Chain A
Amino acid sequence: MKLELRGITKTFGTLVANDHIDLTVEAGEIHCLLGENGAGKSTLMNVLYGLYQADGGEILLDDRVQHFAGPGDAMRAGIGMVHQHFMLIPVFTVAENVMLGHEQTKAGGRLDLPAARAKVREISDRFGFDVDPDALVDDLPVGVQQRVEIIKALSRDARVLVFDEPTAVLTPQETDELMAIMRQLKESGTSIVFITHKLREVREVADRITVIRLGKVVGEASPTATNAELASLMVGRAVELTVQKAPPTLGEPALVVDGLTVIDPIGQLVVNDVSFEVRRGEILAVAGVQGNGQTELTEALVGLQPRVQGSMRLDGNELNGDSVRSILNAGVGFVPEDRKEDGLVGEFSIAENLMLDRADGAPFVKGGNVQLSTLAAFAEEKVAEYDVRTPSIETKVGRLSGGNQQKVVLARELSRDLRLLVAAQPTRGVDVGSIEFIHKRIVETRDAGVPVVVVSTELDEVTALADRIMVMYRGRVVGIVPGDTPRDVLGLMMAGESPNLEGAAA
């Protein structure tokens, strides 16, 4: 089916998320929509899927104008979507999720589960998915959950499939398998819109590429374009994709973690017997697919997790059992994974956020009073130093873009005397320009002799920053390898296979 968007415009208040966007996807084509976070890709697809109503423009399928009042209409017209955050109900089985919204019933209004199971099996066999229709979605790994999303769309005879950032949660191998599925779908005549900001994937699978920036189409590119060309189209200026860094000058081991185990409330060992050390002036990158214990590991390092066993010593002092306050005072800087949840108070100003963890004494607080002039001077200095794009230091942090928010977090953490920096997903949801800046700052911190632990699910980031790479899988360390380890080896390790044992699963 041919999909055509003509002059789609969507505004939220004063923000123009989509500005007269034209897009044509031919039948049986994989069309990539490339753009940075916040460029308006997801908004456009939500308009297409009927979740948002466009303020202007029209949607055509096979040259017929469509009017979608909701996702139900879009689905009936043959549009399916694999959402970035899966739209699956965790406590339902695969079959229940697939049938939801277009249920078949038997006599007496009872659900026809056998029919739904058969449907799941049929589609799953057609594409070689191997999905159990009676498995609870909650128990499935994310890669399989994504296949359930695909089955869900195909069970409604979708002929245009939209994949919204589908690879964010996948290992490199799973990503390759997804690409294969996309090609298979394309051969069966399905049109595919593939939304992403990862250049490598685009070049691998796309038939055509449309680049969006700040809500506008800025150009088309062919899959043969180089990374640098695509990146500069996406960002609007030339960008450095690789981090310039000198070989590390290693000092003595500073952070020594031994047998660290974190137990969650239901008794699972989410971090299982993890041991490693980080030396002064070294970046240890922790790689792994989201949800393999990295979050809990970083939280344990700053004292945010209850039920932690084992030891973690910083410069010889045991941190396990200390309060968050005393760990911070010991010189640990922490960039949390979710800055909106844990890193910043959105309703506070930039200045207030910059002193969040220093409210218990000089120089910002004297005699119980916040020293507003000291704070203002400090904030002005940091905003300039970290290139935070803001009208004023009194602006609420929640109103800044992701990149600028992250710079505020980084400015706060790096302005203390650090003996260890723990940065979890430092560039998640951050524009390419800010990524460049944040990476530079992290390398500078390393060069100043501070040990750094960076957790990232993006292999590009891991290989760009790391002096050594530790890969985690199911709470355990699969291995610690040099920073120049090839991507495919890292990819296998992220799926749990040890690097030098002959393919044995860890």
Chain B
Amino acid sequence: MTIAPQHQAVSPQEPALAKTVVVSWKAPIAFAVVTVLAALLFLLAPHDGEATFRVSAAGDALQLPEIVLNATVTAWVCLALLTALTVVSALMVRARRAVPIWLIVVFAVVFVLGFLTWAVAGASTNVMPLAGLLAGALSLSVPLIFGSLSGVISERVGVINIAIEGQLLAGAFTSAVVASSTGNPYLGLLAAGVAGVLVSFVLAAFAIKYFVDQVIVGVVLNVLVVGFTSFLYSQVLAPNAQALNAPPRFDRIAIPFLSEIPIIGPTFFRQTIIVYLMYVAVAAVYIGLFHTKWGLRLRAVGEHPQAADTVGINVPRTRFWNVSLAGAIAGLGGAFFTLGAVGAFGKEMTAGAGFIALAAVIFGQWDPIKATLAALLFGFAQSLQGQLGVIGSPVPSEFMLMLPYVVTIVAVAGFVGKVRGPAAAGKPYIKS
């Protein structure tokens, strides 16, 4: 038996384990089901005529022509494309390859286009204003985006934040009251942030100091904030609506040049200060998380708190203040309900936005940019439901009300699959 005298026991290029692809038939099956549903819809309830998509709004400087699609032709084309995509995905899985993301995106876009054409052609007015659809989507997304940023920060530092809903609602309520009584929407916005922080303090104190189960504290906080604001609303706000629940709203500010771009301009750059604040927040959180000392330490604490502790980072303190920061961000999102959109506080007006934001966090894989995109998708679904109702679509409105939630469930359950969140999220750090 001979042994080579030279050896390299530790080498950074250790051979990787042999790999085989674990094939998942999830995507082809989901595609097939959707294709069949679309076929049933187009065949059993065909809509003739045309669907018009109005690209430019009336006030735009640059007017683009309307897009007119023949419903029957579009339906058949889309159906053919959907079938083809389903077959492609099935073949890929059979060849033991993973179905790429772009294929899923293309499939979704084709389906939405087909469905929209069908729905618009059958509506009482066959015109869908695209600008309105997008503007609605953005404005419905704003609180979701603030909420999901809050979730991203909080979970990245290791505390599961179920209380986003409560933080949004507290922000909405406080901003309405403060802005109404002072007459200054900026003070209202500030107060909304403070309200979010206060909700976070409770979460942080129980979760970090007393090691109470984070999910339970979050759920209880949501119920508490709903009860508290509803009580104050009916006892104090409703009787004194003029003094306490008529906040001045923010004015829209048009950004020169950018706001002149067709479709995109009015949607994104003719907005209130809160929306601009949101753009800044998304960028700041992204850069902060991945390129600064703050983010490095925050992520370290959420991944491996003990390792962070051994290099001198105070884990409970880092968690406490970042969860508070997360609360402030969610609070700002809450202010959008009252100061940006509706103009007055209403009972339980957040209507589950916090939970959808939570879904966006997971769908967005704890990344601020991806979570923002996910929130935009959910906002689009909500806006679509609203617009279809306005133009008198043949789909019952009760059914359409489900749309945002169906999209959420399909997105989170169907396409996310197994994703890896921060390793220590939800686990209290107890020094033995």
Contact = CB atoms under 8 A, between A and B. Distances in A.
Interface of A: 49, 51, 70-73, 75, 81, 83, 86-92, 96, 99-103, 105, 109-111, 130-132, 135, 140-141, 143-144, 147, 152, 171, 173-174, 177, 263, 265-270, 272, 307, 474-475, 488-489, 492, 495-497, 499-500, 502-503, 505
B10 A100 contact: no
B10 A141 contact: yes
A51 B9 contact: no
Given A89-B303, A269-B18, A177 B296 contact: no
26 contacts: A51-B310, A70-B309, A73-B312, A75-B311, A88-B304, A89-B299, A89-B303, A89-B304, A89-B308, A90-B304, A91-B303, A92-B303, A101-B297, A101-B311, A130-B11, A147-B10, A173-B7, A177-B9, A265-B22, A268-B19, A269-B20, A270-B17, A307-B22, A496-B15, A502-B2, A503-B4
B373 to A, nearest CB: 22
Contacts of A140: 12
A155 B6 CA distance: 31
B293 A109 contact: yes
Interface residues of B, number: 41
Interface in B5-29: 6-7, 9-12, 14-15, 17-22
A110 B1 contact: no
B22 A266 contact: yes
Given A100-B300, A503-B3, A71 B310 contact: yes
Nearest to A171: B9
Given A51-B431, A105-B293, A489 B1 contact: yes
A111 B296 contact: yes
Nearest to B6: A503
A225 to B, nearest CB: 28
Contacts of B431: 51
B324 to A, nearest CB: 20
B124 interface: no
Looking at chain A's contact residues, is the secondary structure mostly helix, strand, loop, or mixed? loop
Nearest to B20: A267
A89 B293 contact: no
Contact of A177 (B10, B299, B300): B10
B427 to A, nearest CB: 15
Contacts of B2: 500, 502
B294 interface: yes
B74 interface: no
B306 interface: yes
B291 to A, nearest CB: 5
Contact of B15 (A49, A102, A135, A474): A474
Of the candidates B14, B17, B308, the one having the most CB atoms from chain A within 10 angstroms of its own CB is B17
A173 B312 contact: no
Contacts of B294: 109
A307 B23 CA distance: 12
Given A100-B313, A103-B293, A111-B292, 15 more contacts: A51-B310, A71-B311, A88-B307, A92-B300, A100-B308, A102-B312, A109-B293, A140-B12, A141-B11, A174-B10, A267-B20, A269-B19, A489-B3, A499-B1, A502-B4
Contacts of B1: 489, 499-500
Given A111-B291, A111-B292, A489-B1, A89 B22 contact: no
Contact of B304 (A72, A87, A272): A87
A314 B92 CA distance: 39
A290 to B, nearest CB: 14
A40 to B, nearest CB: 14
A86 B310 CA distance: 10
Contacts of B15: 474, 496, 505
A497 B14 CA distance: 13
Given A87-B310, A489-B1, A109 B20 contact: no
Interface in B281-299: 287, 291-294, 296-297, 299
A86 B15 CA distance: 22
Of the candidates A92, A307, A475, the one having the most CB atoms from chain B within 10 angstroms of its own CB is A92
A281 B125 CA distance: 86
B18 A268 contact: yes
A263 B312 contact: no
Nearest to A476: B18
B9 A143 contact: yes
B18 A475 contact: yes
A266 B418 CA distance: 10
Nearest to B297: A100
A73 B312 CA distance: 8
Nearest to B96: A267
B3 A135 contact: no
A343 to B, nearest CB: 22
A89 B2 CA distance: 40
B335 to A, nearest CB: 27
A307 B22 CA distance: 10
A357 to B, nearest CB: 30
Of the candidates B18, B294, B297, the one having the most CB atoms from chain A within 10 angstroms of its own CB is B18
A8 to B, nearest CB: 18
B213 to A, nearest CB: 18
Nearest to B293: A103
Nearest to A49: B310
Contacts of A109: 292-294
